[in-house]
Structure 1
Amino acid sequence: MSRQLSPPASRHISRISSSRPDSIGVPRTDGVTTIFHVSDLHFGWPAVPEQIEAIERIIHDGKFDVVGISGDLTQRARAGEFQRAAVFVRDAKKVSRVITVPGNHDVAWWRAPLGFGHKPDVYENYRKFIDKNLEPVLHVPGATIVGINTAHGVTRRTLTWNLRDISIIGDIHKHQLDQAKELFEKSPPRDARVIVMHHNPVRGELSQRHGLKDTHKILGAFAEMGTDLVCCGHDHQESVHYIEHTRKGTVISTAGTISNRSRGGRPSSVNVISIGRETIDVTTHVWSKEQRTFVTGPHKCFKRSEYVAPE
C-alpha cells in the first residue's frame, strides 16, 4: 500500500481498502515511536476469543514501543471480566510498555450515582486488577503519553434525557486539563505529546454522536497544550481525523472495538501508529473472517505541525 503524505484534513476513514494479510509489525527506525492502539475489548459476553487471541499474537510478535488501551476492557465491570483483562494486560507488558485508562463500562457507576455513595468504589475492580492509577503517564523515547480518565460514572454534568445514555457520556474536568498541560510542559521539547482517553471527541460517522461532553472546548484545550495525538475509542467505529487549530494540529485516532458490538456490522479493528520527527502515520487493521486474522486497511499520514505557543 502506498504511504504517500496526505494533506491535513478532518475527513474520516469510511471504507476498508485492503484484504492483504499482515503481521502488523512495524520496522524499527531511529526516531520513530510505535503505538499499538486497541480499545473496547469488552471482556465478558461480547468478547470474541478468536480475535482476542489474534491481538495477543500481534502484540507479542510486533513488539511495539507502546500498547495503548483506551478503555472498556470489560462489559459490566465484574471481577471475572477484569481478571481476564488483567491477563491480557500482563502479557502485553512482557513485550511492550502499556498504558490503560478506564472506559464507562469499567466503572461500577451504580455504587455512587450523582455523588451519592463512596465515589472511589466505582473504580474498585479496575484499580484492583488493572491499575491503581486512573491517569497514568508514560515516558518513552520520542513521546510523552498522558492518560486522562473521562469515565466518571453518573454525574450531574453528564445527565441526559436519554435513559440509555445515563452512564455513557464522558467528561474532562479543568484540573485534569491543567495536570496534562503541566506534564507536557515538563516533557522534552521534541517529544510528541500524546493523550490516551476513552470517549471520542469527534462525532462518529454512523452514530452521529460525540462521546465526550464539551468537545469543542476540550479539543481547543488539547491544541493549546500542543497535543500531537489523541488515542480514544468508545464509538465502536474506527476513524482517523486531523483537527486544525491556530496553536497546533492534532491527530485523533479512534480505535474500533474487538467484540461482537461493532457499529453497523463493521469488522473489529485496531490502529497502528508511527510517530516520527515530522509525521504521524495511522494504519487501521481490520478483522478478516476469511483469513481469520487482522489485515491491513486504510492508511493516513499527517505532517506534524509546529506548536505556536501563546504570547
Structure 2
Amino acid sequence: MSLLRVAHLSDPHFGTTRLEVVDGLLNILKEIQPTLVLLTGDITQRARANQFKAAKDFVDLLGSAAVIAVPGNHDIPLGNIYARIFHPYKGYENIFKQKLEQNIVLEDLCITCLNSTSRWRHVQGDFQNSYLEKQFQESYSHCKVRIVAFHHPMDCAKHVDDKNLLKGRNKAIALFERHNVDMIVSGHIHHPFISLSEDRYPHIQRKMILSVAGTCLSSRTRAGAPNSFNMIEINTDLVPSITLTRFDMDLWFHFSPKETHRFSRDATLSWNHDLSFQEGENLTEYPRQ
C-alpha cells in the first residue's frame, strides 16, 4: 500500500499574518511530516517584495517536504499597473522558481497545477478552454490518482460566495471528468468546504471530490472559520481511497484535527463519501448510491 500525505494550505496572505499563528502552523507540519505541501494561492496580501520574502522564509522552514504553489489574485500587483500588465507573476516566479502550470508526479499520484488568475481581473478567476486542453495533453495514465489544484473554488457552502466561484466552471469540470480527475483543491473564499461534484454539477456522471481550504495564516478570517488547513491522505492501493482532515487553530494558536472525511473510488471511477466525523462527535456514514 502506498500512502501519500499532502498538506493543502491556502490563502496565507503574508503581510496580514501573526507570528504566533505562523509558529503554530510550522509546529504541526513538523509533527505530521507531510510528503508534500501544496499552496493554492493568495500567498501574499499585495504582491509586494517583502511579502514574497516572508513567504520564502516560511517555505524554507518546512524542512524536507516538497513545496508546490499556484498563484492567487492577491499575488498579482494591484496598484502598479505597469507591473500588473507586463510582468504580473514576477514576485511569485522569483520566490518559487516554478512554472505557473505544471504536472507533479509523486509515485502513483499526479497533481496538475493550474493558474486561474488573470492580470485583467482582480477577483474572479477563469480558464481559457484552449489553455485547459493544453495542460491535459500529456498522458499520466500510469498515475492511480489525479488531483487538480488552482486558486478559485468550484463550490462553496454559502450563497454569498457564489460570485467568487470560478467563471467557466461548467466547461472546466466537464474537461476534468474527461481526463479522469479525482479531486479538485482550491481556496480563495477563506471558508473551508468539502463536497462531491454531484451536489453542484449533477450533469457530471463521474463524481469528483471538491475541497476548498480556509486561510491558513491570515488575520482576514471569516466568522465561524478560524485559521485552518487540510491534510489529504491518499491511498493508491488497488482500490484508491482519500482521507481528508481539516486542522483548525484554537485560542492558544495550536492546530488540531477538527473534521475528517473519508472517500473511496468505485469501479466506475466515481468517488463515494463513505463517512465524516468531527472530533468528539459521532461519525456519519453515507449510504452508497
User: How far apart are the structure 2 equivalents of 1:213 and 1:197?
Assistant: 13
User: How far apart are the structure 1 equivalents of 2:243 and 2:135?
Assistant: 23
Contact 1:100 1:136 in 2 (8 A): no
**What's 2:241 paired with?**
279
Higher strand share: 2
Offset of 1:246 from its aligned partner?
4.9
**What's 2:88 paired with?**
122
**Paired residues for 1:160-175 under 5 Å:** 167-175=122-130
SS at match of 2:2: coil
Contact 1:111 1:122 in 2 (8 A): no
**What's 2:149 paired with?**
196
Is the aligned partner of 1:264 residue 2:223? yes
1:235 aligns with one of 172, 189, 194 = 189
The amino acid of 1:57's aligned partner reads N
Q: Deviations over 1:85-136 (max 9, x none)?
A: 01122333x3212110000000115555xxx887441111111122341123
Offset of 1:34 from its aligned partner?
1.1
1:251 aligns with one of 203, 206, 209 = 209
Offset of 1:143 from its aligned partner?
0.4
Normalised TM-score (structure 1)? 0.77
Normalised TM-score (structure 2)? 0.83
Contact 1:72 1:102 in 2 (8 A): yes
User: How far apart are the structure 1 equivalents of 2:83 and 2:3?
Assistant: 46
Instruction: Give unmatched runs, 5+ long, in structure 1.
Output: 1-29, 156-166
User: How far apart are the structure 2 equivalents of 1:118 and 1:64?
Assistant: 34
1:101 aligns with one of 63, 70, 84 = 70
Offset of 1:59 from its aligned partner?
2.2
User: How far apart are the structure 1 equivalents of 2:130 and 2:27?
Assistant: 38
User: How far apart are the structure 2 equivalents of 1:275 and 1:192?
Assistant: 8
Instruction: Give unmatched runs, 5+ long, in structure 2.
Output: 271-289
User: How far apart are the structure 1 equivalents of 2:146 and 2:246?
Assistant: 21
Q: Indicate how the Cα distance of structure 1 residues 188 and 90 shifts in structure 2: closer, same or farther if over 3 A, else same.
A: farther
Deviates more, 1:299-308 or 1:260-269: 299-308
2:5 aligns with one of 13, 19, 34 = 34
Identity of aligned residues (%): 27
Q: CA RMSD in A?
A: 2.1
**Paired residues for 1:170-181 under 5 Å:** 170-181=125-136
Offset of 1:264 from its aligned partner?
2.2
The amino acid of 2:207's aligned partner reads G
The amino acid of 1:215's aligned partner reads R
**What's 2:282 paired with?**
none
Contact 2:243 2:261 in 1 (8 A): yes
Offset of 1:292 from its aligned partner?
2.6
Is the aligned partner of 1:217 residue 2:176? no
User: How far apart are the structure 1 equivalents of 2:114 and 2:90?
Assistant: 18
Q: Indicate how the Cα distance of structure 1 residues 136 and 88 shifts in structure 2: closer, same or farther if over 3 A, else same.
A: farther
SS at match of 1:216: helix
The amino acid of 2:88's aligned partner reads V
Offset of 1:299 from its aligned partner?
1.0
Aligned residues: 260
User: How far apart are the structure 2 equivalents of 1:150 and 1:256?
Assistant: 17
User: How far apart are the structure 1 equivalents of 2:22 and 2:114?
Assistant: 25
Deviates more, 1:146-155 or 1:200-209: 200-209
User: How far apart are the structure 2 equivalents of 1:84 and 1:69?
Assistant: 14
SS at match of 1:284: strand
Offset of 1:190 from its aligned partner?
4.1
